[in-house]
């Protein structure tokens, strides 16, 4: 399907069906289509917590998937996780209704914009996208933003702005980001992940190389992390303009005069031997400092003045489920974090340790059997960076456990760790073990974030 055909369906007001509409990106897509005048409906397996929002937008929601859900739709949009045997899809195919992948839809929509900044990387996509969204909005760029998290200053995961600038998180899973149309492509890092789809690290690197090639040959820019060896491999021989960032003077933009204030970093951003600006970060961790240097390059390319960039980046206070402060219990501070890959876990736990707590306690929910078994040793190493580790059962997501992997097997590799059978038991562990001065994380990409609410309910009785 071409953008012209897509736009014709939008303009026709014939229904567009979103399969999996409760998902962050799919809900944002539905809102973007509504803003363009489309008639939108959608379905999802579970009840929707967004019914009021859908009703205000005129979106009809259907709980459950059924062959008749897509009757009358002119187009069906699905994510890569929605398979051909989904009843919505079976029904659409039986009626020869066009079916479009979510990434293709976003790619066509972002092609309408003068500049499309797409942020990719195994880790840090959501945070960096949110940083760029924050400073561009603060600087008056009026961006349209699509981010895979809840960013408070845009009121969720989507901001609809002018047709000048689109800022989008770009995920590599199942090569989704290869459907995007960036003019500026950012590669933060490339790590071994999604091995239920990619064959090995070289396969992942090759995918990111293709992503880099998506920017226009004459006018496009690729922003790449010089500190990350796999990213360097991905962009080494491409015939596109590449601007690097990192922690050493070999990078085009790098940090210098770095100071830590209990895990919150201040530093100069250096370019062409001069200080572009000095940043005092208001989110913890060296990984976030690196993300901010990548954001500085975007500011320079968009001709945002250094002082305006500094003001905007220092307004960034984080995004939902990324080192998100939830509350206190018995003098311990409780945070929730989406980290689900060993590198992310290690970065988050190190950032917590820099804050000089009494102890760092991590209640971790492994996400998918394939990731757990393929990165088992790496998970054990990463989780050793906390003082107390508690594991819940593996969150299956889209998978069946063919390998026989269990959280107990991972726990056996981590000294002093323990397993709990349920989220309720995880809340009990926190209640029984929290001490003044502790930093406690609920961590993972599944439903581990429910633990804090369970804790509050238990302790408020």
Distance CA 395, CA 448 (A): 9
pLDDT > 80? residue 84: yes
Contact 337, 304 (CB under 8 A): no
Delimiting residues of CATH 3.40.1190.10 domain(s) in the chain:
113-315
Q: Residue 125: CA atoms inside 13 Å, Cβ hemisphere, count?
A: 25
DSSP state of 308: H
Cβ atoms of 339 and 444 closer than 8 Å: yes
Distance of CA 169 to the CA centre of its chain: 7
291 pLDDT higher than 80: yes
Element (H, E) at 271: strand 264-271
Q: What percent of the chain has pLDDT over 90?
A: 96
Whether pLDDT at 398 is above 90: no
Q: Where in the chain is the domain with CATH 3.40.50.720?
A: 3-105
Alpha carbon distance 129, 55 (integer Å): 28
Classified by CATH at the fold level, domain 324-459 comes out as 3.90.190
Mean pLDDT of 10-23: 97
Q: Which pLDDT band, with edges at 50, 70 and 90, does 81 fall under?
A: confident
Name the band, by pLDDT with cuts 50, 70 and 90, for residue 444.
very high
Token pair recorded at residue 378 = 């790496």
C-alpha span between 79 and 427 (Å, rounded): 33
The model's pLDDT over 206-253, given as tens digits with 9 standing for 90+, comes to 999 999 999 999 999 999 999 999 999 999 999 999 999 999 999 999
At residue 44, φ and ψ (nearest 5 deg) are -155, 160
Determine the average pLDDT of the residues in 424-436: 98
d(CA 377, CA 353): 22
**Residues listed for the chain:** 461
Residues of the chain with CATH 3.90.190.20: 324-459
Distance, CA of 219 to CA of 215 (rounded, Å): 8
What is the dotted CATH code of the domain comprising 3-105?
Answer: 3.40.50.720
pLDDT at 107: 95
* Alpha-helical segments (H) within 354-421: 369-374, 376-383, 407-411
Going 232 to 373 to 397 to 407, the CA torsion angle's sign is negative
Confidence of residue 33 (pLDDT cuts 50, 70, 90): very high
Three-class secondary structure of residue 133 per DSSP: helix
- Band the pLDDT of 80: cuts 50, 70, 90: confident
* Token output for 445: 């990409």
pLDDT in tens, 154-200: 988 999 999 999 999 999 999 999 999 999 999 999 999 999 999 99
Pairwise CA distance, residues 269 & 277, whole Å: 6
Per-residue pLDDT at 461: 74
pTM higher than 0.95: no
Answer yes or no: are the C-beta atoms of 292 and 131 closer than 8 Å: yes
Q: What's the CA gap between 237 and 75, in Å, rounded?
A: 40
Q: What is the pLDDT of residue 123?
A: 96
CA distance 397 to 392: 14
User: Quick one: pLDDT at residue 235?
Assistant: 98
CATH architecture of 113-315: 3-Layer(aba) Sandwich (3.40)
pLDDT in tens, 399-410: 999 999 999 999
């Amino acid at each position: 399907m071409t953008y012209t055909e897509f736009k014709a369906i939008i303009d026709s007001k014939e229904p567009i069906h979103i399969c999996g509409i409760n998902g962050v990106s799919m809900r944002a897509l539905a809102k973007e289509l509504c803003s363009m005048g489309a008639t939108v409906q959608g379905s999802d397996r579970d009840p929707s917590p967004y019914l009021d929002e859908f009703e205000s937008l005129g979106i009809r929601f259907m709980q459950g998937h059924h062959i008749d859900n897509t009757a009358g739709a002119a187009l069906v949009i699905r994510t890569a996780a929605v398979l051909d045997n989904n009843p919505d899809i079976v029904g659409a195919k039986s009626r020869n209704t066009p079916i479009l992948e979510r990434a293709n839809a976003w790619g066509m929509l972002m092609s309408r914009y003068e500049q499309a900044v797409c942020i990719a990387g195994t880790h840090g996509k959501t945070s960096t996208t949110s940083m760029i969204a924050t400073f561009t909005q603060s600087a008056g760029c009026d961006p349209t933003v699509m981010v895979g998290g809840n960013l408070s200053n845009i009121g969720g995961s989507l901001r609809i702005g002018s047709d000048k600038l689109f800022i989008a998180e770009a995920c590599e899973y199942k090569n989704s980001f290869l459907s995007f149309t960036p003019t500026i492509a950012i590669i933060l890092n490339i790590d071994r992940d999604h091995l239920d789809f990619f064959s090995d690290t070289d396969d992942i690197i090759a995918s990111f190389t293709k992503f880099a090639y998506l920017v226009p040959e004459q006018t496009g820019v690729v922003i790449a992390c010089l500190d990350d060896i796999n990213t360097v491999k991905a962009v080494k021989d491409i015939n596109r303009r590449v601007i690097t960032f990192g922690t050493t003077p070999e990078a085009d933009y790098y940090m210098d005069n770095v100071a830590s204030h209990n895990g919150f970093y201040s530093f100069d951003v250096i370019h062409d031997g001069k200080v572009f600006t000095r940043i005092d970060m208001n989110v913890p961790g060296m990984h976030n400092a690196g993300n901010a240097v990548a954001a500085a390059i975007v500011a320079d390319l968009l001709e945002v003045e250094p002082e305006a960039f500094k003001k905007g980046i220092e307004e960034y206070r984080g995004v939902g489920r990324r080192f998100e402060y939830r509350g206190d219990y018995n003098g311990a501070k409780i945070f929730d974090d989406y980290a689900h890959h060993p590198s992310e876990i290690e970065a988050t736990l190190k950032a917590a340790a820099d804050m000089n707590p009494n102890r760092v306690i991590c209640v971790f929910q492994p996400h998918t059997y394939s990731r757990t078994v393929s990165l088992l040793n790496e998970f054990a190493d990463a989780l050793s960076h906390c003082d107390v580790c508690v594991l819940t059962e593996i969150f299956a997501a889209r998978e069946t456990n063919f390998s026989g992997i269990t959280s107990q097997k991972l726990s056996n590799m981590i000294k002093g760790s323990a397993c709990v059978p349920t989220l309720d038991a995880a809340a009990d562990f926190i209640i029984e073990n929290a001490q003044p001065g502790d930093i406690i994380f609920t961590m993972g990409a599944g439903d581990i974030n429910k633990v804090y609410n369970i804790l509050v309910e238990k302790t408020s009785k």
